[in-house]
Amino acid sequence: MANDFLFAEEPEEIAPVSRGSWKVLIVDDEPEVHAVTKLALSDFSFQGKTLEFISAYSGREARDMLAKHTDAAIVLLDVVMETDDAGLLVARYIREELHNHYVRIILRTGQPGQAPERQVIVNYDINDYKSKTELTAQKLFTVVMSSLRSYRDILAIDHSRQGLEKIITASADLFSAHSMEQFIDGVLQQLTSILGCNDNALLVTSSLVAGNINEEADPDRLVVFAGLGQFEKQEGKQISEVLEPPLLDAFHQALQSRSIVYRDNYLVAYCTSKFTSGSLLYVSGLPNQMTETQKRLIELFSQNVQIAYENVQLQSEIEDTQREIVYRLSEAVEHRSIETGNHVKRVAFICYDLAKAYGLPEEEAEKLMFASPLHDVGKVGIPDGILNKPMKLHGQEWEVMKTHASIGYEILKNSKRTIIQAGAMIAQDHHEKWDGSGYPNGKKGEEIHIYGRIAALADVYDALRHRRCYKSAWTLEQVLEKISSESGKHFDPKLVEIFKSRVDKLEAILQKYPDEE
């Protein structure tokens, strides 16, 4: 028994987890140089990444490889290959034709006199210059390590610059949906750059509107708001469609605990504010050791990104409220007439369609759509007896009715809101005529604001196609004939042609929003 020895079992060797690789392009016409370089750097690792070697044996082959591998971190470049300056021509190609100022170029030469060091460093944007005779395995390790650090820092700076550009661009118009997505995307990019992690980042939200303070977010209804890396172009999808089960579990845990969950090399942070709950931030590729400063940065981001998002929601809610008030005010005016219906809604959509076809920008077309319901707001100043008279107006009655255009303009003209200002223009100009015979100011041609010209055609078209207290609804053929005959008289000729080419789509609007019985 004394001769029996017990030995502890050797622990299984745990292979290091690789988080990718750094691409190193070896350019040399001697195969032995390639083999020795790969051998000397075979166990090299930096920030959890190994080296991926790409070989080129001539200047021409190197150019092909560089065009293909734009993310190469280092080029170990020989000077003399098929020509005495083949390597220098490759360096010039990298900087001047590919405009790649990120890759680190280490010039290796067996004939230092062929390419003087000072001249080469200055003229060819070379990052290091080594003679092959002095480049031992240790020195090769050192130069590759220092070059990779430089490459990493340059990428981080550029990544941060791009993120900052997105934030600045979006901040100029932060309260539009597109710019908010761009703003969040830029901040995510900045965050991943500062943390030194990869580009995989994600912000998901329950999309709760301001005011739903007590409503809990449903984990299964969280949707992607912004994403980088593998989550790019996933906006609008539910996280159950985008995430694998282990990651989905981390999202649920962060939402339930209302905290930041760290797992392996990624985190999921809960974002909240006084209005809503339910936004989560995901960032992967974290450094091995997170500093307290980095953790504090994530906490600040998770707090502030939700506030920024909700500010946009509040702005959107204010705009929606303004538009609803405009519609309801306009409908209240319409309801003073005997007929009730969807006239203002139809006119709004017809105006938008004609404006887009006319060539107005999206912003202008939308402004016209939201303001057009105010075209007859001045009728609040017209007596019921005249407004609802079932017969043709005569003499003084007609003169009173015509004042509704000026009344509407006076009601709206002093507003500082763009939609109300547009409504004032429409109210004033929608009874002017192309030939100058309209009212209240006898404007003609392009003196009439384009909003007024479009609203005039939309208003007449809808009025003719529907019953009024003084007439029956016209057929489409009758309306087309009438509007065509008024081209150049009542209506802008260009608009008439657009109207005739799109009448099927405009008829669909009438069918979608019929008058109530």
Residues designated catalytic: 379
3-state secondary structure of 222: coil
Cis peptide leading into residue 246 (ω within 30°)? no
Cis peptide leading into residue 31 (ω within 30°)? no
**How far apart, in whole angstroms, are the C-alpha atoms of residue 490 and residue 507?**
21
* Residues 80 and 91: beta-carbon distance below 8 Å: no
253's CB contacts (< 8 A; 6+ apart) are 261, 268
* Residues 459 and 347: beta-carbon distance below 8 Å: yes
Please give the single-letter amino acid code of residue 149.
Answer: R
Radius of gyration of the chain (CA): 35
- As a dihedral over the C-alpha atoms of residue 508, residue 509, residue 512, residue 513, rounded to 10 degrees, the angle is -150
44's CB contacts (< 8 A; 6+ apart) are 50, 51, 141, 144, 145
3-state secondary structure of 406: helix
* Residues 45 and 148: beta-carbon distance below 8 Å: no
3-state secondary structure of 23: strand
CA proximity to 432, closest of 483, 489, 369, 386: 489
* Residues 310 and 232: beta-carbon distance below 8 Å: no
CA proximity to 438, closest of 505, 492, 371: 492
130 is written with which tokens?
């080594």
CB atoms within 10 A of CB 72: 21
**How far apart, in whole angstroms, are the C-alpha atoms of residue 63 and residue 328?**
67
DSSP 93: I
